[in-house]
Each structure stands twice: as C-alpha cells, then as structure tokens.
Structure 1
Amino acid sequence: MKMIWHMVFLFAVAISAFAADVSYLGVKPAVIIDVRTPEEFAAGHLDGAVNIPYEQIGKGINTIPSLTKSSPILIYCRSGRRSAIAAQSLEQLGFQRVYDGGAMSDVQRKLQSCAAKTC
C-alpha cells in the first residue's frame, strides 16, 4: 500500500511541477528532480522540483508527462552522491541531457531566473 501511495504522489507531483522559469548553466531544464527522500523533500526543496528518490528514478522518470530522452533534466540531492547515481541511471536508460547539479546549495547558486526572452 505504501508503494502505491508513493507512486500516486509521484504522479501528482509530476503533473503539477515542471521546472520553474530558470536556467542552469545556460540551459532551461524541462524538469528539476530532487532525488532525496520524501522527508528531506518535504523539509525544503527548489521551487518547481519533482521528488523522485534516487533508488526509484528508473520507474519515477516515466511518471513525468511529455519528457523525452532528449529533454534537459536537472538532478540534485543533499551532497551530490545520490544525484550522481541517479544521473548515471538515467543516462543508462538513454536520457541524453542529464545535468547532475550535485548539492542543492550548489544548484541554488547556479540557477538563473529567466527574463521574458532569455531562456
């Protein structure tokens, strides 16, 4: 039952939370994925981020509508270890534009708000 609830939660979040109007290293991500635990995510996350714990990234990525293998995906976690694992998993699944942001604090410093016509 817990797994079903979590998948429903992932689906609801995926539908409602696409990347905010930001760019990361000059690229506007189609989605920002926080690969920390749901508890860590609930304690605070980047605006517009979707929570898919790193050990569920292979299944969870399929809950995001309109995402293609060439969509830019930004991933982060607390320190960078889990985001690196998740990024490697996505690349092995054929995703071509995976950006491992590492630690959430690092991603926050590198995100830039998009002006009306810059992204």
Structure 2
Amino acid sequence: MDLTQQEWSEKLAADDNAQILDVRTDEEVEEKHLPNAKQMDIQNPPKFMEELQKLDASKNYYVYCRSGARSAQACAILKSQGFENCYNLLGGISEWEGETVS
C-alpha cells in the first residue's frame, strides 16, 4: 500500500508492531537514514531474499528507498512471500521531512 509522507508517519507512530525497512544501498544509508530502520539492499537480490526469510511475517513493514520505486518493488516481493502489511513511502527519503540519522 502506497502512503504519503503524512499517512506513513502517522500510521507508523501509532503502530506497536512496526518494523522500518530501508531498501537502499550501503552508500545511500551512510548519507542519511531513518532511526531504527533495518537495511535490506534490494539491489542485491540474493542477500535481500536471504534477509527476507528472517523477517517476522506478523509485523507491519514500513518500507522506503530514495524516491519510492525500489520500496514499491520491495513491498510487492514481501506481499508475494506472504507478508500481509507492507507500506510504501511515496517520494522516499528524498522527500522525507521527519527525523533522520546521518
């Protein structure tokens, strides 16, 4: 499900069962990322799928990338693997106005 910045942050703030996923590369994550985000680089498919197998399918996943394209792809993969709740951040971190860590 695609959510705007406001919808994503409000839903995340009210979710006790949330996990944030950052699907960007190591270099991108080093520049800035969201607090408590777990990185899973979708551009490394074997490692991405390996990490995916370790995720708890009962959690709600809030996924972001730089602009929203890779995170949309990641949500589609999560859904195909039986993850019910996956929320894509439209516009990605490049449009994020909330807290970041660098």
TM-score by length of 2: 0.69
Alignment coverage as a number of residue pairs: 86
Q: Find the aligned partners of 2:95 and 2:60 in 1 and give their Cα distance.
A: 18
Give the unaligned 5+ runs of structure 1. 1-21, 112-119
RMSD: 2.5
- Tell which has more relative contact order, 1 or 2 (C-alpha 8 A, sep 6+): 2
Name the counterpart of 2:87: 99
Q: Quick check: which one's helix share is greater?
A: 1
Counterpart of 1:89? 77
Larger Cα Rg: Structure 1 or Structure 2? 1
What secondary structure sits across from 1:78 in the alignment?
coil
Residue 24 of structure 2 aligns to which amino acid in structure 1? R
What do the CA deviations read for 1:28-62 (whole angstroms, capped 9, x no partner)? 45310100101101111000001101243322123
Stretches of structure 2 that go unaligned for 5 or more consecutive residues are 1-9
Percent of paired sites with the same residue: 30
Superposition misfits of 4+ residues, deviation over 6 angstroms: none
Normalising by structure 1, we get a TM-score of 0.60
| Paired residues for 1:14-93 under 5 Å | 23-24=11-12, 26-55=14-43, 56=45, 57-64=48-55, 67=56, 69-93=57-81
